[in-house]
């Protein structure tokens, strides 16, 4: 299953790769070189398909938990100043996505979308400390009955050139459902209340819509 954001790229790539393969077959006389080029074209198509895959993951819809919005590796867990929406201290959990990760963005919590804003910007590498404030990005805040306002930020990386955000102010977000897409390597930050205990650690690989970032335990 592939994400709708990749349909045009997949079709165009398939047509161009097929045309290139026919030209190689027609004009390259050396058998070993012809085979090498054809294998390279197939591998390129496989990479395109891999990037736009969209595995089915039924929504958890847990009001007592925040889930990972994307696949990737946890690179930051720290308390920071969040200047755009909260204008105060928040616990930041950042997940870095390589080009080989699934790039679907999923809602980390259910609730009402109370803030959604796009910011044009630079294309620093996604792990750069200032990428969250200087790079092209979107900021989305979902009001959740358990955790209050939960902010997540899609951040473009050095290769990412398009952020797709489906969240609009007033929408009802359903945890784990499709909230957007970032093309070709990037990062997503989640901002939680200060001192929130988390279930993940630096370097851990997480799955969007599956891994619990934090959950509210019974008193």
Closest Cα to residue 216, out of 145, 158, 112?
Answer: 145
Q: Residues near 139 by Cβ (< 8 Å), separated by ≥ 6? A: 84, 85, 115, 116, 117, 119, 151, 153
Q: Residues near 65 by Cβ (< 8 Å), separated by ≥ 6? A: 109, 212, 213, 214, 215, 216
Q: How far apart are the first and last CA of the chain?
A: 41
Question: What pTM did the predictor assign?
Answer: 0.83
The tens place of each residue's pLDDT in the chain, 219 residues long, gives 776 776 787 788 889 988 998 888 888 888 888 889 888 888 888 877 877 777 888 888 788 999 999 999 999 999 999 999 999 999 999 999 887 888 899 999 999 999 999 988 665 555 555 556 667 889 999 999 999 999 999 988 655 557 889 999 999 999 999 999 887 668 899 999 998 999 999 999 999 999 999 998 645
Confidence at residue 127, expressed as pLDDT on a 0 to 100 scale: 55
Confidence at residue 123, expressed as pLDDT on a 0 to 100 scale: 58
| Residues with active-site annotation | 186
Contact 131, 188 (CB under 8 A): no
Longest dimension (CA), the chain: 74
d(Cα 80, Cα 87) in Å, to the nearest integer?
Answer: 10
């Amino acid at each position: 299953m592939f994400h709708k954001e990749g349909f045009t790229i997949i079709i165009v790539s398939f047509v161009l790769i097929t045309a290139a393969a026919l030209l190689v077959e027609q004009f390259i006389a050396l058998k070993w070189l012809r085979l090498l080029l054809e294998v390279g074209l197939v591998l390129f198509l496989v990479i395109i398909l891999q990037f736009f895959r969209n595995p089915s993951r039924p929504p958890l819809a847990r009001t007592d938990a925040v889930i990972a919005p994307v696949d990737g590796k946890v690179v930051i867990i720290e308390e920071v100043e969040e200047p755009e929406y909260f204008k105060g201290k928040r616990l930041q959990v950042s997940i870095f996505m390589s080009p080989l990760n699934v790039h679907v963005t999923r809602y980390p919590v259910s609730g009402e979308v109370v803030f959604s804003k796009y910011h044009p910007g630079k294309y620093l590498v996604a792990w750069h400390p200032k990428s969250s404030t200087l790079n092209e990005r979107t900021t989305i805040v979902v009001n959740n009955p358990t955790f209050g306002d939960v902010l997540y930020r899609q951040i473009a990386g050095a290769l990412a050139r398009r952020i797709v955000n489906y969240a609009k102010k007033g929408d009802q977000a359903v945890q784990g459902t499709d909230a957007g897409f970032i093309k070709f390597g990037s990062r997503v930050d989640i901002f939680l209340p200060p001192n929130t205990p988390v279930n993940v650690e630096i370097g851990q690989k997480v799955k969007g819509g599956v891994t619990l970032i934090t959950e509210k335990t019974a008193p």
